[in-house]
Amino acid sequence: MNSPFAIVIFGATGDLAQNKLIPALFSLFKQSLLPEDFFVVGFSRRDYSDDEFRDHFGELLEKPEWSDFSKHLYYQNGDFTKEKGYLELIKKLNSFDKQMGACITRFFYLATPPENYETILNFLSSTKLSEGCGQESNKWTRVIIEKPFGKDLETAIALDEKLSKIFEEKQIFRVDHYLGKETLQNMLAFRFANGIFEPTWNKEYIDHVQITLSEKNGVEKRGKFFDGVGMLRDVGQNHLMQLIAAVIMGQPKSFTKEDLRDARANAIKAINCIEPSEVSKYVVRGQYEGYREEKDVLPNSNTETFTAFKFNTNSEKLEGIPFYVRAGKKMPKDEVTISIVFIQTCHILFKEYGCPEVGNVLTIKIQPDEGIYLRVIAKKPGSKLALETVDMHFTYEESFKTKGIEAYEKVLIDIFSGDQMLFSRSDELASSWKFITKILEGWASESESGLKHYKSETWGPKEADELIEKDGRKWL
């Protein structure tokens, strides 16, 4: 990254900017991964000066190098719904161009609640901000859209149509930061660079797949945003779908942007939808006790903070294999895992020596303790023959002495270098929204009793256990 750029963060005083974007930019700066000249413009309603904006970032202010970094921060006060702020922004961006003596690339990062996207896009277009400066027109602008991308299939399609009227596909970056996670990217290397896993990655060998995304925290300060969205839209439509895709995906034709996006899109398309009439059978909707008393949450809110569902796929290799997926807030720990549970085929030779109920399990730990764990059966030490399961593992920390690059750093690096490989394409989004929208439709026709309450620090409502246990299996 040598070319100067300007990045405008809409919603710059919000959680995402504060907790992820500015820290990630700061970290890239410290690693000398940003060009010498770059301009970060925060655009928000608050009446801040540049200095007040620089002082907004709490504990970062204490860090060495912050004062050097913060010189790159600027602020533009503006109401998203009024032209004034956008016109002033143009002047600010033009002054950067003037300083650089060239039209520098402009990135517009929409880190606001999703209801503002349309308004902001309209103003980017009507004020011609979307076109950038200079004769080469919109070649020098990019737009970055955070999730949730729409509220359902229909609104996602409408948002995409709006975007494509203003920007070309190569200018659009639809963020799902899970795609930037080291461990998720490693799944491709792990599956396809090693010769020994793919031959067993099919219905002959795999019994079922479990995916868990559990978070210890509740909604914290994000009640207003979360209450209007819920867990299924917040992490289901995006992060969970990408975890699922990494399991179903066939080998990409090459590691080029479009081949990889094709492989992901085909994987998501292969997920069999749960019809609205089947939702009560295959989907659990939970809310932690005390959620309705959280700040900015409606006192009678029926928003789910937990969901679990079971589905299967029509992908050739994994056809019919059950996938059990759960995600929730206020769970016992922070953990994201994908587990491939293999069919237990303890050989007849060992039957009388106590074959463990569950045999081989391959667990990809997305976080924490990023790594891969393989549960195998071993002989217990001693004079008698007895069997027990043990774990073999690889962790990033042990092998590479690092956890890898933070997801938002990867997201930003790719945006700045114009690499769209780890950003969602419209067809991926359409397939995932199709799946999620059917569940939402099922929930809409359910009575309130469909929402199950669960205690904090538990693994969700008991119905989530029943979902898997009625098939004679257990959450790991």
Please tell me the count of residues contacting ligand BG6 according to CB under 6 A.
4
- Work out how close the CB of 20 gets to ligand BG6 at its nearest, in angstroms, rounded to a whole number: 8
Least gap, CB of 469 to ligand BG6 (angstroms): 27
Q: Which is nearer to ligand BG6, 321 or 364 (CB)?
A: 364
Task: Name residue 38's amino acid.
Answer: F
| Residue number, 235 or 439, with CB nearest to ligand BG6 | 235
Query: DSSP readout, 138-164?
Result: GGGEEEEEPSP-SSSHHHHHHHHHHHH
Query: Please, what sign has the CA dihedral across residues 335, 339, 344, 347?
Result: negative
β-pairing verdict for 361-367 and 371-379: antiparallel
Q: What is the Cα–Cα distance from 360 to 344, expressed in whole angstroms?
A: 7
Given 239, 347, 393, 453, the catalytic residue: 239
Q: What is the DSSP letter of 396?
A: H
Least distance in angstroms from the C-beta of 367 to ligand BG6: 6
Judged by beta carbon, residue 215 or residue 227, the one nearer ligand BG6 is 215
Give alpha helix (H) positions in 197-295.
Answer: 223-227, 230-231, 241-248, 257-269, 279-282
- Number of separate helices (H) and strands (E) present in the chain: 17, 15
Burial of 452: CB neighbours in 10 Å, binned 0-12, 13-18, 19+: middle
Whether residue 208 lies in the annotated active site: no
Which is nearer to ligand BG6, 278 or 335 (by Cβ)? 335
Site track 232-251 with ligand BG6 (rule: CB under 6 A), x = hit: --xx----------------
Asked if residue 294 binds ligand BG6 (CB under 6 A), the reply is no
Which three-class secondary structure state does DSSP give residue 394? strand
Closer CB to ligand BG6, 215 or 428, in the complex: 215
Q: Residue 111, class by beta-carbon neighbours within 10 Å (0-12 exposed, 13-18 middle, 19+ buried)?
A: buried
CA-to-CA distance for 21 and 173, rounded, in angstroms? Answer: 15
By beta-carbon proximity to ligand BG6, the closer residue of 20 and 310 is 20
Q: Is 274 helix (H, G, I), strand (E, B) or coil?
A: coil
Q: Is the dihedral of CA 86, 92, 98, 101 positive or negative?
A: negative
| Residue (166 or 407) nearer to ligand BG6, CB | 407
CA dihedral 309, 206, 188, 312 (to 10 degrees): -30
Query: How far is it between the farthest Cα atoms of the chain?
Result: 82
| Closer to ligand BG6 by Cβ: residue 104 or 407 | 407
Query: CB of residue 234 vs ligand BG6: minimum separation in angstroms?
Result: 5
Q: Could you tell me the smallest distance in angstroms from the CB atom of residue 219 to ligand BG6? A: 8
Coil, strand or helix: which one is 109?
strand
Name 173's Cβ contacts closer than 8 Å, sequence gap at least 6.
142, 143, 144, 145, 414, 415, 420, 423
Site pattern 196..235 for ligand BG6 (x: CB under 6 A): -------------------x------------------xx
Q: Give the nearest distance from C-beta 186 to ligand BG6 in angstroms.
A: 16
What minimum distance in Å lies between the beta carbon of 278 and ligand BG6? 27
Shortest reach from residue 215's CB to ligand BG6, in Å:
5
The binding track of 393-412 with respect to ligand BG6, each residue x by CB under 6 A or -, is --------------x-----
Nearest residue to ligand BG6 by CB is 234
**x/- site string to ligand BG6, residues 348 to 387, per CB under 6 A?**
----------------------------------------
What are 195's two structure tokens?
A: 């010769």
Contacts to ligand BG6 by CB under 6 A: 215, 234-235, 407
- Annotated active-site positions, please? 239
